[in-house]
Amino acid sequence: MKCKIRYLFHLLLVFLLATEVQAQNIRVTGKVTRKTTGEPLYGATVTLKGTKQSTTTNSTGDFSLSVPANSGTLVITYIGMTTQETAYNGAGAVSIILEEGNAAILNDVVVVGYGQQRRTAVTGAISTVGTKELVQSPVADLSNALQGRVPGIITKQASGEPGSDAAAIYIRGNSTFGATMAPLFVVDGIVRSFRDFSQLDANEVESVNILKDASSAAIFGVKGANGVILVTTKRGKAGRTVANYSFNYGFQKVTKYNNSVDSWQYATLLNEALLNDGLPLAFTNDQIDNFRKGTDPIVYPNTNWEKLVLGGTAPQMQHNLSFSGGTEKTRYFASLGYLDQDGLYSSLNYKRYNVRINLDIQATKTTKVSVDISGRLENKKAPTTSISGIFEHTLRNPPTIPAYYPGVGYAQVGSYVNTLRAVDPAAGYDNTENNTILTNFQLEQQIPWVKGLSIKGVFAFDKRLNYQKTWNDNVYTYTKNTGTGNFDRSAYNNPNLSEKYYQDHQTEMQGHINYTNRFGKHGISALVLFLQQERPQNEFGASRSGYEFSFFDVLDQGPSNNAGSITETINGKKDRFALRSGAARINYDYDNKYLLQASLRRDESEQFAPNHRRGYFPAFSAGWVLSKEKFMENTLSTVDFLKLKGSWGKLGNDAATDPTKNDNPYRFLYLPRYATVANDYAFGGTIVPGLNPVAANPLASWEASTKMDVGAEARFLNGLLSIEIDYFRESRNQILTTRYAQIPASYGGPLPAENIGKVLNRGVELSLSHYKTISKDLSYSVRGNLTIAKNKILEAAEAANVPAAFKVVGRPIGSYYGYKAIGIIKDQATLTSYGKNTAFPVGLGDIMYQDVNKDGNIDNADRQFLSGGAIPEVVFGFSGGVNYKGFELSFLFQGATNTHQQLTNNAGFAFFNGGRVTGEWLDRWTPDNPNGKYPRLSTNATATTNNYQVPGGPAFGQGGNSFWIQDAKYLRLKNLELAYSFQPAILQKIGASQLRLFATGQNLLTFTKIHNVDPENTNGNGWYYPAMAVYNFGLNIQF
């Protein structure tokens, strides 16, 4: 214990007091590039030979080193490159080009679960996104920076709302319908939450490794079936202190507005719809003329609600300051980040502070101590109206109603919700503070008398404290009284307040035994691991309503009695999660040519019954480096490297979710019990509690996944061209799902989830890259990747008598089912020849449906599979860049196909729920426009009319008709960057080692056929904050 404290003092001293006192030194600067590509090398170590003075290169490959003598030799090392020595003479710039040797390539390492491996020895499927690409995307949420960069990752960004704009990540597509497909997130060796990953400051991150196949992820056992995302943060290197400051400032803007119509068009179209419905018209011709003239904006407005709420631009700003350096004994990386992102309305803002210190202490020659401490403060300010509420009504409100009466206030017309008022800061706030501290202490001890043997203890403690405060305040609205001509003010809306605290702490302990050694041509490394994890959590909240006035947003100041409309609530909850695991892994290679890996993990999860808790997850993989074979020698001039690999393994997924409870994780599924219901019924005016039986399945277990992968990696022509290709196949069994589709509702009880479902998911990944250096000043690169992942359901507890065309078995997860539209009845002749009996009246201008069983009726038996769902089966990315002197231009296109979206509500239907009509309806069927693309107008956009019917779908797909299902394929210019790095000669004058200016853009161009919703979104009603285009400028300076 004593020594631990001493280390702590040591590191504190080093950190606080270490300043560099330099004698009369000169400064040598230079640039390190990769020979084959001309790419600048980031993180190369430059050491003055014979001393401990060293530095590392920055992201443009530049370095600056203070040296005491006028001449000497620099030693430049970089992982994967041949170490090079370069002499210098006097101050000034040197240029160093490093070369990849076969030996050097062999030493390039990649982070894997609980360890690292030489990249050439990897037999699994792992993709890496480096810090440069992560920083390049001007996005607040790291999950949006992975898109399109590497194969095997499919993302869907559900919202662009600051602070809530994360993308859902699907590694190699979707393999389950019973549980989340969210991968496991591991930050510096500890399993952490998605948000711990996505809210990292990209400047802190060294690399993100995506473990896609069984052999790489199986070490995570019951948590690993969805793939694993490993984040490695930056660490200090021995040498001079490097200070880095980066700054970004940008504007966000809506990528695309909906198709809108003017108020006179709306009035005209509404009259047409009412006429079609045989209902009285809503507007007279005079009124329509007045709308068209627009001279009386109070009575005859032309309101574009979407632009009122979302118009303009919102700024975002990001600062990051980091220091790194240290000595052979103690190395550190410290970073401080700040993000401030505004929303498109003023009541929306997100601020984030990230701080990190990573320390490495070589306590003795054989003992290494690492201490990582990082913290994150998030502060989100939002309106009290939910996002879905704001957008539901923004998209519903017709253009014929005013948003405000000048000089009076917000207009209230009928029951239309004035969303401009809803986003007014005066209407209150919904503030969320998330405070997170993540710590990680490691002690690694080499065992001196056994070469290659070491032990490691890891202790991680994370603490989260979240606080939410919601204050709903009064903002008056006004209604124009047609009788008096006055503006009647709304009643005072008594404010209400709620506050909620949440906290959890996660403790994880790991013990590792590592052994790595070579015996001649035989290389062996082995790992034995024990871990246990525990996460108790609790929350507490209180609320009061009926505040008399708006002065105090304090709970103490609210009325404390429960009477009439005044309520107060207090609530609290607790829970605990736990996991105990052990794992072993062994790697063997013969001459780095034949590679083998085997691993086994044992897990115990508290999610399941004591006798069904334990699971074993094995994996095997093998690789063959053909390029090392004698018979390949002749081709070595063209083939630099060629490896074949294959893997097989079993993994689990215990993150099953309960579709009847907002997809919350299943808890205690095995335990027969009765849930308490606090306020269940009222007898004689007294509210009494209840107990509600809960369905249990004592046999419940995790989803079992069996994965297989075969692939090849190759590099040709001295690195000019690299190819990686993988075929993968996963069968996911024991998917937890209920038998609601098989058991009659007359059973009357809830049904427990059972391990029933089966899904097969297969696909191919391909990535290609090409670099070329044309001259010392000019180089370029292009890269492309493609992922195809197709799944099909093999078992889903369907009802027995479901017609084949309507079965989910054999079809992809999340597919659309319903009636297939085959055209619009354009004239009487078409109507006659259509001649079907339909449940709903059909006439001219209506949609015709396919009669699957040809019985002359359009009925339930004619429902069929229509198309795949919203998660794309094919995604691709295409990126490139050109470097010329100090200039860099790079781009990333990203896209997806085989993806569909069903438009619903006001995103698709005309006049839905008394709402707006969108512009594409201008091309509708009318007697004069019989070939219109859209059916005849009606105010009756309901499930019980022919054109909008949404029959009850099967358990795994939405019902609908294919007319509203649109192809959501898209191609997007995700990222574009133009940057300039100043030359060392100029930098010297300001004492900097690097200065880079850049302009970046995100989501700048989108090519898609789908309208009114973003193609990346999974929500067909448009009730979300849209994805943003970002125009960003910034600089990066390093000393």
Minimum Å distance from CB 672 to other proteins?
Answer: 5
The piece of 332-340, 650-658, 810-818, 853-861 that touches other proteins (CB under 8 A) is 853-861
Minimum Å distance from CB 756 to other proteins?
Answer: 13
Interface residue with other proteins among 490, 731, 830, 983 (CB under 8 A) is: 490
Q: Binding to other proteins (CB under 8 A): which residues in 19-48? A: none
> Residue 107 corresponds to which amino acid?
N
Strand partners, 527: 514, 585
Minimum Å distance from CB 410 to other proteins?
Answer: 11
Q: Binding to other proteins (CB under 8 A): which residues in 495-524? A: 509-511
Question: Could you count the other beta carbons within 10 Å of the beta carbon of residue 522?
Answer: 11
Minimum Å distance from CB 287 to other proteins?
Answer: 8
Interface residue with other proteins among 691, 774, 804, 822 (CB under 8 A) is: 691
Minimum Å distance from CB 437 to other proteins?
Answer: 21
Minimum Å distance from CB 661 to other proteins?
Answer: 12
Percent of the chain that is helix, strand, coil (3-state, to 5): 15, 50, 35
Residue 900 backbone phi and psi in degrees, to 5: -135, 155
Alpha-carbon Rg for the chain in angstroms: 32
- What's the token pair of residue 822? 């085959």
Strand segments, DSSP code E, in 52-182 are 54-56, 62-67, 71-77, 84-89, 92-98, 109-112, 115-118, 126-130, 153-157, 167-171
Q: Is 562 in the site for other proteins (CB under 8 A)?
A: yes
Question: Could you count the other beta carbons within 10 Å of the beta carbon of residue 308?
Answer: 18
Closer to other proteins by Cβ: residue 300 or 893: 300
Determine the Cα–Cα distance for residues 865 and 849; give it in Å rounded to an integer. 13
Per-residue binder mask for other proteins (CB under 8 A), 829-848, x = binder? ----------xxx-------
Minimum Å distance from CB 298 to other proteins?
Answer: 13
Closer to other proteins by Cβ: residue 90 or 744: 744
List the one residue out of 645, 769, 519, 770 whose CA is nearest residue 120: 645
User: Can you tell me whether residue 264 is helix, strand or coil?
Assistant: helix
Per-residue binder mask for other proteins (CB under 8 A), 615-654, x = binder? ----------------------------------------
Q: Binding to other proteins (CB under 8 A): which residues in 283-312? A: 283, 287
Interface residue with other proteins among 557, 567, 657, 731 (CB under 8 A) is: 567
Q: Is 687 in the site for other proteins (CB under 8 A)?
A: yes
Q: Binding to other proteins (CB under 8 A): which residues in 83-102? A: none
Question: Could you count the other beta carbons within 10 Å of the beta carbon of residue 681?
Answer: 10
Q: Is 912 in the site for other proteins (CB under 8 A)?
A: yes
Q: Binding to other proteins (CB under 8 A): which residues in 364-383? A: 364-367
The piece of 498-506, 624-632, 643-651, 663-671 that touches other proteins (CB under 8 A) is 663-671
How would DSSP label each residue in 299-322? TS----HHHHHH-S-EEEEEEEEE
> Residue 419 corresponds to which amino acid?
T
Q: Is 537 in the site for other proteins (CB under 8 A)?
A: no
List the one residue out of 73, 225, 72 whose CA is nearest residue 655: 225
Determine the Cα–Cα distance for residues 592 and 850; give it in Å rounded to an integer. 61
- What's the token pair of residue 382? 């939002």
Q: Is 485 in the site for other proteins (CB under 8 A)?
A: no
Question: Angle at CA 431, nearest 5°, toward 425 and 434?
Answer: 155
List the one residue out of 916, 903, 964, 909 whose CA is nearest residue 936: 909
Closer to other proteins by Cβ: residue 299 or 985: 299
Q: Is 559 in the site for other proteins (CB under 8 A)?
A: no
Minimum Å distance from CB 14 to other proteins?
Answer: 19
Interface residue with other proteins among 82, 84, 532, 731 (CB under 8 A) is: 532
Minimum Å distance from CB 752 to other proteins?
Answer: 10
Minimum Å distance from CB 861 to other proteins?
Answer: 8
Q: Is 177 in the site for other proteins (CB under 8 A)?
A: no
Minimum Å distance from CB 519 to other proteins?
Answer: 24
Determine the Cα–Cα distance for residues 399 and 917; give it in Å rounded to an integer. 9
Closer to other proteins by Cβ: residue 21 or 745: 745
Question: Angle at CA 454, nearest 5°, toward 449 and 460?
Answer: 150
- What's the token pair of residue 614? 């334990």
Closer to other proteins by Cβ: residue 287 or 322: 287
Question: Angle at CA 78, nearest 5°, toward 75 and 82?
Answer: 75
Q: Are 377 and 434 in contact (CB under 8 A)?
A: yes
Q: Binding to other proteins (CB under 8 A): which residues in 408-427? A: 412-417
List the one residue out of 582, 584, 573, 580 whose CA is nearest residue 607: 580
Per-residue binder mask for other proteins (CB under 8 A), 385-404, x = binder? ---------------xx---
Question: Could you count the other beta carbons within 10 Å of the beta carbon of residue 565?
Answer: 8
Interface residue with other proteins among 519, 551, 631, 683 (CB under 8 A) is: 683
Interface residue with other proteins among 52, 576, 776, 1009 (CB under 8 A) is: 576
Minimum Å distance from CB 960 to other proteins?
Answer: 10
User: Can you tell me whether residue 787 is helix, strand or coil?
Assistant: strand
Q: Binding to other proteins (CB under 8 A): which residues in 434-453? A: 443-448
Q: Could you tell me how many residues of this chain bind other proteins (CB under 8 A)?
A: 125
Interface residue with other proteins among 297, 346, 860, 933 (CB under 8 A) is: 860
Cα-based distances in Å from 47 to 63, 64, 80: 11, 11, 17
CB-based burial, 201-227: b 16+ in 10 Å, e otherwise:
bbbbbbbbbbbbbbbbbbbbbbbbbbb
How far out from the chain centre does Cα 335 lie?
A: 23
Q: Binding to other proteins (CB under 8 A): which residues in 4-23? A: 4
List the one residue out of 752, 757, 600, 896 whose CA is nearest residue 178: 757
Q: Binding to other proteins (CB under 8 A): which residues in 327-366? A: 363-366
Q: Is 406 in the site for other proteins (CB under 8 A)?
A: no
Minimum Å distance from CB 561 to other proteins?
Answer: 11
The piece of 571-579, 710-718, 883-891, 1011-1019 that touches other proteins (CB under 8 A) is 571-579
Helix axes 263-277, 285-293, angle to 10 degrees: 160
Minimum Å distance from CB 419 to other proteins?
Answer: 14
Q: Is 865 in the site for other proteins (CB under 8 A)?
A: no
Closer to other proteins by Cβ: residue 450 or 986: 450
Closer to other proteins by Cβ: residue 382 or 443: 443
> Residue 321 corresponds to which amino acid?
L
Q: Binding to other proteins (CB under 8 A): which residues in 770-829? A: 799-802
Interface residue with other proteins among 886, 914, 919, 930 (CB under 8 A) is: 914
Determine the Cα–Cα distance for residues 813 and 811; give it in Å rounded to an integer. 7
Closer to other proteins by Cβ: residue 819 or 891: 819
Closer to other proteins by Cβ: residue 110 or 274: 274
List the one residue out of 802, 730, 736, 738 whose CA is nearest residue 759: 730
Q: What is the DSSP letter of 599?
A: E
Token match 């699971």: residue?
615
Per-residue binder mask for other proteins (CB under 8 A), 577-616, x = binder? xx-x-----------------------xxx---x--x---
Contacts of 299 (CB under 8 A, 6+ apart): 290, 480
Closer to other proteins by Cβ: residue 444 or 553: 444
Per-residue binder mask for other proteins (CB under 8 A), 939-958, x = binder? xxxxxxx----xxxx----x
Minimum Å distance from CB 580 to other proteins?
Answer: 6
